[in-house]
Amino acid sequence: KAGVTQTPRYLIKTRGQQVTLSCSPISGHRSVSWYQQTPGQGLQFLFEYFSETQRNKGNFPGRFSGRQFSNSRSEMNVSTLELGDSALYLCASSLSGTDTQYFGPGTRLTVL
Amino acid sequence: DQQVKQNSPSLSVQEGRISILNCDYTNSMFDYFLWYKKYPAEGPTFLISISSIKDKNEDGRFTVFLNKSAKHLSLHIVPSQPGDSAVYFCAASEVPNDYKLSFGAGTTVTVRA
């Protein structure tokens, strides 16, 4: 069974631009969570989607948004990029959100 | 506000010896704890978990110990193998298997041959 896939794997943007990252969950999984990983901070929860609905959101500014499609694929968008947004963005999927999460390889975003 | 802390950023251990990774948390509402392992260029993979009703959970070479009163948990790997070289993340949630996990900053383990 294919794992969680994320595209693109690497991205370079400049300050002020916006970016969209994509996550395809494991087939049959309906919950997708997003995390930001920065050095020294570990993974920080961004938000979670289940059946196209955002169920919870972490402590991130409104510039960070996301959505989920009917096929459970999810996208996250960051507008007006700042240097501090440079990070590894990971998504994880699970069947319902109340079971083991499986992570994708991440998208490495660099903001110049 | 880091609710889960891994104060040792790195650990070097000889092959065959025990690796002990530590994790502290501040949120008394945390009820479920997990360890994830991450290789470079890959996402974290689930390793082992423990519920707050237990103080120990074992899975093969991996054992997690929980001390609720001290808000401390540890992961023991015995014996350590070269393939165990990775970054280990401690995570916690307020309910079992919750999608909203709070992670520590990670400990990089290097197993020397």
DSSP letters for chain A: ----EEE-SEEEE-TT--EEEEEEPPTT--EEEEEEEETTTEEEEEEEEETTEEEEE-S--TTEEEEE-TTS-EEEEE-S--GGG-EEEEEEEESSSSS--EE---EEEEE-
Share of chain B above pLDDT 90, in %: 85
- Do strands A87-94 and A31-38 pair parallel, antiparallel, or not at all (unpaired)? antiparallel
**pLDDT-based confidence at B2, cuts 50/70/90?**
confident
- Quick: pLDDT tens for A69-100: 999 999 999 999 999 999 999 999 999 877 78
- Do strands B62-67 and B10-14 pair parallel, antiparallel, or not at all (unpaired)? unpaired
Angle value at C-alpha A22, between A102 and A69, nearest 5 degrees? 90
Mutate to test the interface with A, among B1, B99, B103 (most CBs of A within 10 A): B99
Instruction: Tell me which chain A residue has its CA closest to the CA of residue B91.
Output: A43
Instruction: Tell me which chain B residue has its CA closest to the CA of residue A41.
Output: B105
Q: Is B23 on the interface with A (CB under 8 A)?
A: no
**Neighbour-count burial for B34-49, b at 16+ CB within 10 Å, e otherwise:** bbbbbeeeebbeebbb
| Distance (Å) from the alpha carbon of B5 to chain A's nearest alpha carbon | 9
Confidence at residue B97, expressed as pLDDT on a 0 to 100 scale: 67
Q: Per the CB < 8 Å rule, is A45 touching B96?
A: no
Given a contact cutoff of 8 angstroms between Cβ atoms, the answer to whether B93 and B101 are in contact is yes
Q: Compute the average pLDDT of residues B39-56.
A: 92
Given a contact cutoff of 8 angstroms between Cβ atoms, the answer to whether B107 and B38 are in contact is no
- Quick: pLDDT tens for A7-45: 999 999 999 999 999 999 999 999 999 999 987 788 999
Q: Which residues in chain A are contacts of B46 at CB distance < 8 A?
A: 100-102
